[in-house]
Chains A and B, each alone.
Chain A
Amino acid sequence: MIHIITTISNALTSLGASVLIPIFIFILCMVFGAGLKKAVMAGLTFGAAYIGLNLVIGLMISTVNPMVEIMVEQWGLKNDILDVGWAVGSAIAYSTTCGALVIVVSLGVNILMLATKTTKTLNVDIWNFWNHAFTASVVYIISGNLIIGLIAGAIHAAFCLVMADRTAARVQEFYQVPGVSIPHGWAVTSIPIIAGVNWVLDRIPVVKDINWDEKHIQEKWGIFGSPLILGTILGLVLGLLSGYWTDIPLLLSSAISIGTVMMIIPKFIALFMESLSVVSDVARKFMKAHFGDREFYVGLDSAILIGHPTTVAAGIILIPVTLILAVILPVNRVLPFGDLASLAYFVALVPCLSKGNLFRSLICGIVIMSVVMLICTGFGSSMTTMAVTAGYAIPEGAVDITALSAGNWLTWILSKFAGIF
């Protein structure tokens, strides 16, 4: 019996993520009653997104890798773990067998908790189950046990729902989004950090009364909100640090390549989203049909909070701050890159928890980014292993990869526990 299961499992795994996950998505859509046409499209779109993303990752690694190697050697920098950004990180987390199964586990946890009235949040933000998927995959890699991995994913999912309930009232009032709560897998882990920073700041005379205004930052510096511009400038800086000034054509073409990567990645990730939005739609209808008669909050992505002026401003200012932190922070090995365009996410909940004050957003941002980089350093090569397992083309001997948005303390603690098994 076990032999048969192993054979089937090996056969499935050998198909690779570009075939296996589309089949899984197709089945999931059919089970929830999405209809044949939509289910086929959703499955195939995932496959296309996977293959497309693989091409861009290839371009990114081949451009950035030589630069990182030179920088590490010439400047004695130790930033040899490349941040590929949450978008790529999430796609990798979903592309492992363990990660894909987490969609079902997280939905199951939500149904169970709604049924037992331990949560009021109905999480329809399927896309961000990737945080649970990442937790599950890391724990699976460390423990080598699929069940323990899935349990870790379930714990993460449950934690999100509990924190979403507890912040719902403040989120709804501050951002004026009635009936909404934020069970986002990363954002919920920022709540204790923000609370801690606020607790300290409130006890320092003078500092506690500082209140900065952000009115003109977006108007003046908004151009850095463009991923193409940000990527190209970052490419120039990395190129200069790598001594490419002796070869101007190489410097300029590298800069444009990096700008291109930053601009194109979202396009391919949008395909993943398109595929999963079919799942999300049918899951939402299913959940509403079964739990819709009670008062509940709809759990959404923290993306809906990013537009707050304080957050937009903090997201821009934190770009250089994070780069400097990466160099001066002891122990840190992460080179911030992909997530630099999404730093606003890391401080999305700060305005609501500290009354829309830019000063607080920046201080919280500095603490949060330090914690995040240290945790990602702690994960070491986990995400690289995950990506290689999922069949992404990461050349051997190249830099390790990580994603800042995967750096939450909950996953870290769970992965430490997994080490026991």
Chain B
Amino acid sequence: MGRTVKLMVCCGSGIATSTHVAAMVREYMEERRIPVTIETCSVQDLANRLTGCDMILSTTQVAFGTEIPVFSGVPLLIGVGEEEVLEAMAVKMKEISEG
């Protein structure tokens, strides 16, 4: 097993939708035994919290440029295209974890 991937999940407040999608990602990755630690924050706080962060999952727009890969969490909220996002994240995480 590779290193643990750090995922930052953000939304408007860092409380509501981010907690929700974080739980979905955690469950999905646990089933696939992909080691990941997940933290949540608000999009306004995001830029201050990126130290050591490998990936971002956001349910709202990320308004600044960053090298870190950003995924949209909206499909997870509306339940359309949910699998595709989770699968794409799993692939990326494996790559980071083992790379």
Contact = CB atoms under 8 A, between A and B. Distances in A.
Interface stretch (B29-37, B40-48, B89-97): B40-48
A280 B63 CA distance: 28
| Residue picked from A124, A218, A304, A315, most chain B C-beta under 10 Å | A304
Interface string A103-142: 0000000000000000000001001100000000000000
B82 to A, nearest CB: 11
A33 interface: no
Given A303-B17, A307-B61, A316-B44, A179 B12 contact: no
A190 to B, nearest CB: 14
B62 interface: yes
A87 interface: yes
Q: Is the interface on chain B under 10, 10 to 19, 20 to 34, or 35 or more residues?
A: 20 to 34
B4 interface: no
A282 interface: no
A307 B62 contact: yes
A223 B48 contact: yes
Contacts of B44: 218, 222, 225, 306, 312, 315-316, 341, 344
B13 A303 contact: yes
Contacts of A344: 12, 44
Interface string A171-187: 00001010110000000
Contact of A273 (B16, B59, B60, B79): B16
Contacts of B40: 270
Nearest to A348: B12
Interface stretch (A53-61, A153-161, A294-302, A373-381): A294-302
Contacts, number: 114
Nearest to A300: B77
Nearest to B48: A226
B28 to A, nearest CB: 13
A31 B44 CA distance: 38
Given A303-B13, A304-B11, A306-B11, A225 B63 contact: no
Nearest to B42: A225
Contacts of A219: 64
A348 B61 CA distance: 12
B19 A270 contact: yes
A301 B79 CA distance: 14
A297 to B, nearest CB: 9
Contacts of A99: none
Nearest to A219: B64
B45 A226 contact: yes
Most chain B CB atoms below 10 A, which of A219, A269, A302, A307: A307
Contacts of B59: 303-304
Contacts of B79: 124, 284, 288, 298
A279 B96 CA distance: 34
A222 B48 CA distance: 8
B88 interface: no
Interface of A: 87, 124, 127-128, 175, 177, 179-180, 218-219, 222-223, 225-227, 266, 269-270, 273-274, 277, 280, 284, 288, 298, 300-309, 312, 315-316, 341-342, 344-345, 348
Given A225-B42, A301-B17, 9 more contacts: A127-B16, A179-B80, A298-B79, A301-B16, A303-B59, A304-B74, A306-B13, A306-B43, A308-B61
